């Protein structure tokens, strides 16, 4: 399909903005949305004209496949405003590639690059006042695709809607994060959809995460489904462990999401000679390291969560609090990463893309 979205975008602007009613200092994550949204419908084997219009509920047929079979995928990205008021995306190519990999795995059509990229750029430009300056501020971008085809037959839809909505964001977690290591439930299995950013991967975690919340833990660290002995990822983030002076993170697989923040940390560590090994850490090894004092830090990494220190973990009936570090590597890496994202440090990787 040929698309020249700069010519073809249909734009209907909102008559008024709700920006003045937003308290940008107190933003519960992902619950306030900007004035506009973007969508593009897929029908009869092709993508239609992308539309930008005021943010509003969308009419849906109750038999749409997304409601019955969860045929839905999404991405999480952020836009940042630098001191000169320029707006930047961070590695949008990676999100685009992963989005279409998720689409293929869920038997959905690939979204053309101009629809995805121009959609983001045009939407951000229209709502650019919603991107606030300063570290800690960002505009969270949520591209997603849902199956809109009618009928409850259990087969892929013939119609889809690709959409982008945007939400001003500060931190994902309020306060300290403690995690529970999964013993019974699992996030994904080999051959399943764990590597895709499929909606169902997240809703499947809600119940076990609620049980963890009831015990005072904000997240679960998932273990492999077959043996529950290998530490894999947390609900909203990939995880890193610092044991002695080395960082460890699990290899990506059919069960583990190939996180953009995770992969950026690997590249930063390589550039700056931070000792890092990509290999599975075993639960037994973590318990041993917690007991003998060699476990120094655990942190999560993701677009929404950025880099989030984890202060302790529970396994079976025991809770292990991590020792306080004077100069935690989690914060050092977070600083390096967010300085690049906010254009406060040279982007030696070419990760940042101007809007």
Can you give the binding site for ligand COI, defined by CB under 6 A? Answer: 76, 202, 236, 302-305
What is the C-alpha to C-alpha distance for residues 266 and 119, in angstroms, rounded to an integer? Answer: 29
Shortest Å distance, C-beta 129 to ligand COI = 22
**Separation of CA 88 from chain center:** 17
What is the C-alpha to C-alpha distance for residues 232 and 194, in angstroms, rounded to an integer? Answer: 11
Shortest Å distance, C-beta 265 to ligand COI = 14
Report the helix count and the strand count for the chain, using DSSP H and E: 8, 20
Task: Give the length of the chain.
Answer: 355
Nearer to ligand COI, 194 or 302 (CB): 302
With vertex at residue 344, the alpha carbon angle to CA 342 and CA 345, rounded to the nearest 5 degrees, is: 115
Nearer to ligand COI, 120 or 304 (CB): 304
Shortest Å distance, C-beta 173 to ligand COI = 11
Shortest Å distance, C-beta 267 to ligand COI = 18
Nearer to ligand COI, 98 or 296 (CB): 98
Nearer to ligand COI, 64 or 308 (CB): 308
Shortest Å distance, C-beta 183 to ligand COI = 22
Those residues whose C-beta lies under 8 Å from the C-beta of residue 315, and which sit 6 or more positions away, are 180, 181, 183, 283, 286, 287
Residue 305 DSSP class: T
Those residues whose C-beta lies under 8 Å from the C-beta of residue 202, and which sit 6 or more positions away, are 235
Nearer to ligand COI, 132 or 142 (CB): 142
DSSP per residue, 221-266: EEE-TTTS-EEEEETTEEEEEEETTEEEEPPP-SSS---HHHHHHH
What is the C-alpha to C-alpha distance for residues 20 and 327, in angstroms, rounded to an integer? Answer: 39
Nearer to ligand COI, 257 or 283 (CB): 257
Shortest Å distance, C-beta 190 to ligand COI = 22
Shortest Å distance, C-beta 155 to ligand COI = 27
- Among all residues, whose Cβ is closest to ligand COI? 76
Nearer to ligand COI, 231 or 305 (CB): 305
Whole-angstrom CA distances from 108 to 65, 102, 117, 145, 350 are: 12, 8, 18, 9, 31
């Amino acid at each position: 399909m040929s698309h020249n979205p700069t010519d073809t975008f249909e734009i209907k602007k909102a008559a008024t903005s709700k920006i003045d009613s937003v308290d940008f200092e107190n933003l519960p994550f992902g619950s306030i949305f900007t004035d506009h949204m973007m969508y593009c419908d897929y029908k009869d084997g092709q993508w239609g004209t992308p539309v930008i219009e005021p943010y509003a509920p969308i009419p849906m047929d109750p038999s749409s496949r997304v409601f019955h079979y969860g045929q839905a995928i999404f991405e999480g990205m952020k836009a940042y405003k630098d001191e000169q008021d320029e707006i930047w995306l961070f590695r949008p190519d990676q999100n685009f590639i992963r989005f279409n990999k998720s689409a293929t795995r869920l038997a959905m059509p690939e979204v053309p690059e101009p629809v995805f990229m121009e959609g983001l750029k045009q939407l951000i430009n229209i709502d650019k006042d919603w991107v606030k300056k300063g570290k800690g501020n960002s505009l969270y971008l949520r591209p997603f695709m849902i199956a809109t085809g009618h009928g409850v037959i259990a087969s892929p839809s013939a119609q889809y809607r690709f959409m982008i909505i945007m939400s001003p964001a500060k931190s994902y977690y309020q306060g300290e994060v403690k995690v529970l290591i999964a013993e019974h439930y699992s996030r994904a299995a080999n051959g399943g959809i764990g590597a895709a950013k499929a909606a169902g991967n997240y809703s499947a975690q809600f119940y076990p995460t609620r049980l963890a919340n009831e015990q005072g833990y904000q997240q679960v660290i998932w273990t492999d489904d077959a043996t529950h002995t290998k530490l894999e990822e947390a609900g909203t983030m990939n995880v890193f462990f610092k044991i002695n002076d080395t960082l460890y993170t699990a290899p990506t697989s059919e069960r583990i999401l190939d996180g953009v923040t995770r992969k950026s940390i690997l590249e930063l560590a390589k550039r700056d000679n931070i000792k890092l090994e990509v290999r599975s850490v075993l639960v037994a090894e973590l318990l041993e390291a917690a007991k003998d004092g060699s476990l120094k830090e655990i942190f999560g990494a993701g677009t929404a969560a950025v880099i989030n220190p984890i202060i302790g973990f529970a396994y079976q009936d025991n809770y292990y609090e991590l020792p306080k570090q004077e100069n935690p590597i989690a914060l050092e890496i977070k600083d390096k990463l967010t300085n690049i994202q906010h254009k406060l440090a040279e982007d030696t990787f070419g990760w940042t893309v101007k809007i």
